[in-house]
Structure 1
Amino acid sequence: MSPTTKTRLVTLLSAISLSALAACTTVGPNFQAPETPQTTAYISQDEALPASAATLDQAGVGPWWTALGSPELDATIRQALAGNPSLAEADATLAQARSALAAARGAAGPQAGVSAGVDRERANLQSFGFTSFGDITLSNPTFSLYSVGGTVGYDLDLWGGQKRRIESATAQAQAQGRRAEAAYLSLTANIALQAATIAALQGQIAAVERMIADDQANIDLVRKADALGGTTRLAGVSAQAQLEQDRAQLPPLQGELAAARHALALLVGKAPADWRAPAFTLDTLKLSAPVPVVLPSALVRKRPDILAAEAELHVATADIGVATADLYPNLKLSAGLTQGALKPKDLFSYDASGWDIGAGLTAPLFDGGTLKARREQARAAARAASARYQQTVLTAFGQVADALSALSADESALAAQDRVEAQAAERLRLSRLAFSRGGGTLLEVVDAQRALNAARATRARAEGRKLADAIRLFAATGADWRVS
């Protein structure tokens, strides 16, 4: 083939491709993002927003957990973001989805290939009826055949099936990216929750240890009074029983603390024996800023699981177009050039060239209803994806509402617990004063001490519960997890 012929061949193929491409259409529904919900609030008007939450129609800046004011928590989360196996899996799955998108885009473009070969052949002339030439008996010749060539093919995608496949793969990559963001948000929230659990347990253990110390002080007081003949044996037995009862509270709390530390180690990506959790306390793990609560209309554009559900709906919508395009005829263009010769030096001569150009049309005639059934299957999948999206939105609204109500109740309970603790402390002061002046009994002192210690332990639990509910509210509102 001469250079001019080759140029004309390529030009002809390109012109046919472009003209046919211009006439292409894309079948199937075009995706439209779901309408923004009309809900304007998370909780009813008769419920009060917690004081530690602020309604904002914008995302916070930077990692959300910095609002807890703990450098130890920040360091722990950063370590987990670098080493958690679940995040590594999410990142690898995201890379897989992006590679699938690249493959779909590549398949929609022109396909070109080259080939080269050397064959050693022995021709069977007798199979063609050639056995002799005059008086000369012909023998089967043996020779080598050298060849090199290339092919070009292009699917015109008349009905946009390839475009819909690319659209579907793009949405799948977006969905996986949102799932990865949800995994990051879930991980950071779970780490903060375990830190809050550790802090609350540390507070409860400290309260119980203080109870034990006070019990021991009461026993010493009984012994002194008994030496002076001012008490009975019953008082001593009661004081000792109270000490043993309070000591029995420590092992379960210590077991829960060990389990929380182990769980935190696993979240960081370490074995419990190879990593020790920081000593989180309620004094160092506190809300230093209000929890930003976005409006419902903004939540659907911010929370990663909602965005993932929307992308999955996009995938299902695009798949309808893919199934619809399969119902119609398809046209593919192809061209090939082959150079073949018996000697390498003749391989690239004009006489050694051969070429072909063509167009192939394929169309379904009878398939027993398979293709239409696949389209209906795709439509049903889209309806299911739409329902999942709506359910995801409702679930998100419910989680935010639950967290807001819980946090509001926590604040009220904590304020009430502060009053209980103050009253118990005053009662203990007065009972001790009365006992020291002979106007009260030791049992009154022990009872007042027990009430104060119980109030302190309850307050530690209430503080930890408020912290945990604030963390859940951060996660429910799709707070930014990214490290700046």
Structure 2
Amino acid sequence: MKLSGSSLSRRVARAALFAAPALLLSACMVGPDFSRPAAPASRHYDLQAERALTAPGVPGSAQRIDADRAPTDDWWAVFGSPKLDQLMRQAVAGNLDLDAADATIAQANEAVAAAGGALLPQLDIAAQGGRQGTGHGTTTQYAVGPQVSFDFDLFGGNRRRIEAQAALAELQCHRFDAAYLTVTGDVARQAILLASARAQMDALDELLADDRRNLELVRSAERYGSATQVDVALALNQLAQDQTLLPPLAQQRDTARHALSVLAGKGPADWTPPDFALSDFALPAELPLTLPSELARQRPDILEAEAELHAASAAIGVATADLYPHLQLSASVSRAGPGAGTLWGVAGALTAPLFHGGTLKANRRGAVDAYQASFAIYRQTVIRSLGQVADLLQAIHHDNEEYAAQQRALNAAGTSLRISQAGYQAGETGLLQVLDAQRAYQHALIGQLRAKTAQYLDTAQLSVALGGHSDSALARRMARDNE
């Protein structure tokens, strides 16, 4: 039976397609099969801090940990702030770092698809033409037709390359998750710092007003001879010293506003974030805390290091497959002329390395070394993560102590102020004593505000350190859809 050029090319391609799966199933994959590293065996981060944070605390100030509970996707919801939730969605939808990470994920997925093409027959069209001269004259020759080739991947080198690309694509997803956590953590941090700056500036305004009233009273007393110029100088010095506290707080407020604009993908002059007050946040009484073994399975930087380790493992397989023979099938059909008709051919090629100057074995040893380096990086990432959570647990424990101490100082200052005011009304104390008591109260209030700010900041950092979410890419798409 005679076959036309087009039908023969289809038969060749079809035969290669049918043969490929059977041969791939019978082929082996050299190199190590990747298995996830064992999770940390420890059940604690810092035993002393965990015990302190599970003991009964002071209601309204001390925080406790809730073991075996992971942060939710929208981890910032623990603060109970609709204003923060709205700003967070704006920032997640508009952040340009996340745009870049999104595009990088798409690029990595295309790299996986490109590598996967090596498992299928490669079909091309080839054409050539030319003129040839002999003693009898010149002739024009040409040939055009399809060519198909297929690498049987006997030892799995191509499949290991796909495995490596898939691991790198997974790495980019975890890198996006890490960027997502960084962005949301920064938004929460800057919003808290903005609220804290405003609260401290309000308290400082009251303190400066007390300083000015004190200065006027001392000056009046100096005019009547009951105070000296030294007293006036001391009052002026106190006012000047307290005034130095205002510019750093204003800088903190403005920097936080600018940072929130940038996080939302806007220029500071083009978009102003909402103002926050500390009353916009509620301090959660209970904090999530997962086991170290669960942290290793959900924290993005650990998963990123794990994906990199997987890619390094697959690279060993690629380098190992290069040491073994390669079998390739090729076929072609062409229409040649003039007068030559249809030409076709099928050929198989087996190549095996004999001597490459030690290059192939050195490549494999280098791949093993790269795997060992990736494994060390993975272990260090896990240990560093455990240390970060331990630091934050201790920070929250000491935040509780600091807040309780500042609250006691504020209560004592409030009691002193009430006694001074009552004594002044009864004529037993002077106005200067009342103003000094007011100044002491405002100082104590500023200290208490700073302690509460530290509690908010460390609460947010703990949620971020624990992984903070499970599907940030999906959350980002939903946020964009809601815009």
Settle same-fold status: TM greater than 0.5.
yes
1:430 alignment counterpart: 419
CA deviations over 1:259-306 (Å, ceiling 9, x no partner): 222222222222222222321111112234633211112111111111
User: Which residue does the alignment assign to 1:124?
Assistant: 133
Q: Report 1:323-334 matches (<5 A).
A: 323-334=319-330
Q: Which moved more, 1:166-175 or 1:8-17?
A: 8-17
The verdict on how the C-alpha distance between 1:429 and 1:58 changes in structure 2, with shifts beyond 3 A counting, is closer
Map 1:366-381 → 2, pairs under 5 A: 366-381=355-370
Shift of 1:23: 3.1
Deviations 1:413-455 (A, max 9, x none): 1122111101111112222333454433555334322221111
Matches within 5 A, 1:213-292: 213-219=209-215, 221-222=217-218, 231-234=226-229, 235-288=231-284, 290-292=286-288
Aligned twin of 2:106: 95
Shift of 1:321: 0.5
Q: Which residue of 2 aligns with 1:49?
A: 53
* Alpha-carbon contact 1:158-1:331 (below 8 Å) kept: yes
Instruction: Give 2:125's aligned amino acid.
Output: V
C-alpha RMSD of the superposition: 2.5
* DSSP-derived class of the 2:280 partner: coil
- Taking a change above 3 Å as real, the CA distance of residues 239 and 433 of structure 1, as seen in their structure-2 partners, is farther
Match among 370, 376, 381 for residue 392 of structure 1 = 381
Give the CA deviation at 1:189: 0.2
1:237 Cα deviation (Å)? 4.8
Please say if residues 199 and 449 of structure 2, whose CA atoms lie closer than 8 Å, have aligned partners that are also in contact: yes
Using the alignment, how far apart are the partners of 1:59 and 1:420 within structure 2?
A: 35
The aligned length equals 461
Q: Which one of 17, 35, 38 corresponds to residue 38 of structure 2?
A: 35
Specify which of 329, 335, 338 is matched with residue 339 of structure 1.
335
> Among 82, 85, 93, which residue is 2:93 paired with?
82
User: How many percent identity over aligned positions?
Assistant: 43
Give the aligned residue type for 1:207. Answer: A
Distance 1:142 1:6 in 2: 27
User: Any idea what SS the aligned residue of 1:115 has?
Assistant: strand
Q: Deviations over 1:119-172 (max 9, x none)?
A: 4x543122xxxxxxxxxxx5x2455x5643111111011111111111111111
On the 8 A contact 1:199/1:285 being kept in 2, the answer is: no
Residue 178 (1) aligns with residue 174 (2): yes
Letter in 2 for 1:204: Q
Establish whether residue 69 from structure 1 lines up as the match of residue 65 from structure 2: no
Match among 124, 149, 152 for residue 156 of structure 1:
152
CA 60–470 in structure 1, closer or farther in 2 if over 3 Å, else same? closer
Distance change in 2, residues 1:35/1:439 (3 Å)? same
* Correspondence 1:109 to 2:120: yes
8 Å contact 2:71–2:466 — kept in the other structure? Answer: no
Structure 2 residue runs without a partner (length 5+): 55-61, 479-483
SS at match of 1:273: coil
In 2, distance between residues paired with 1:239 and 1:33?
Answer: 68
Selected match of 1:458 from 427, 447, 458: 447
Separation in 1 of the partners of 2:243 and 2:65?
42
| Matched letter for residue 253 of structure 1 | L
TM-score, normalised relative to structure 2: 0.88
Corresponding residue SS for 1:151: strand
Displacement of 1:55 in angstroms is 2.7
Query: What amino acid is aligned across from residue 78 of structure 2 in structure 1?
Result: A
SS in 1 for 2:455: helix
Contact 2:17 2:121 in 1 (8 A): no
Moved more, 248-257 or 236-245: 236-245
TM-score by length of 1: 0.88
Matches within 5 A, 1:201-212: 201-212=197-208
> Quick check: 181-190 or 1-10, which moved more?
1-10
User: Structure 1 counterpart of 2:157, which letter?
Assistant: G
- Once residues 233 and 25 of structure 2 are traced to their aligned partners in structure 1, the CA distance between those partners, rounded to angstroms, is 98
Structure 1 stretches lacking a partner, 5+ long: 127-137
Taking the aligned partners of 2:26 and 2:270, their CA distance within structure 1 comes to 65
Instruction: Tell me the amino acid that sits aligned with residue 452 of structure 1.
Output: Y
Answering whether residue 188 of structure 2 is matched by residue 199 of structure 1, we say no
Which stretch of the first structure deviates more once superposed, 177-186 or 420-429?
Answer: 420-429
Q: Which residue in 2 is equivalent to 1:133? A: none
Please identify, of 258-267 and 156-165, the stretch whose mean Cα deviation from structure 2 is larger: 258-267
Following superposition, the deviation at residue 341 of structure 1 comes to 3.2
Q: Residues 42 and 274 from structure 1, CA distance in 2 versus in 1: closer, same or farther, beyond 3 angstroms?
A: same
The change in CA–CA distance for 1:414 and 1:80 in structure 2 (over 3 A counts) is same
Structure number with greater Rg is 1
Of residues 365, 375, 398 in structure 1, which corresponds to 2:354?
365
1:26 to 18, 22, 29: 29
SS at match of 1:327: coil
C-alpha separation between the residues in 2 aligned to 1:289 and 1:106? 54
Q: Deviation at 1:236? A: 4.9
For residue 319 of structure 1, report the CA deviation from its aligned partner.
0.6
Return 45-54 or 361-370, whichever deviates more: 45-54
In terms of mean alpha carbon deviation, does 443-452 or 463-472 score higher? 443-452
The alpha carbon displacement at 1:6 in A equals 6.2
**Equivalent pair of 2:133/2:139 in contact (CA under 8 Å):** no
Q: Which moved more, 1:154-163 or 1:84-93?
A: 84-93
CA contact (8 A) 1:338 1:355 kept: yes
Mapped partners of 2:21, 2:433: distance in 1? 97
3-state SS, counterpart of residue 278 of structure 2: coil
User: How big is each residue's C-alpha offset from its partner over 1:343-382, in whole Å with a ceiling of 9 and x where there is no partner?
Assistant: xxx8xxxx71110001111111111111111111111111
Cα distance in structure 2, aligned partners of 1:87 and 1:7: 46
1:405 aligns with 2:408: no
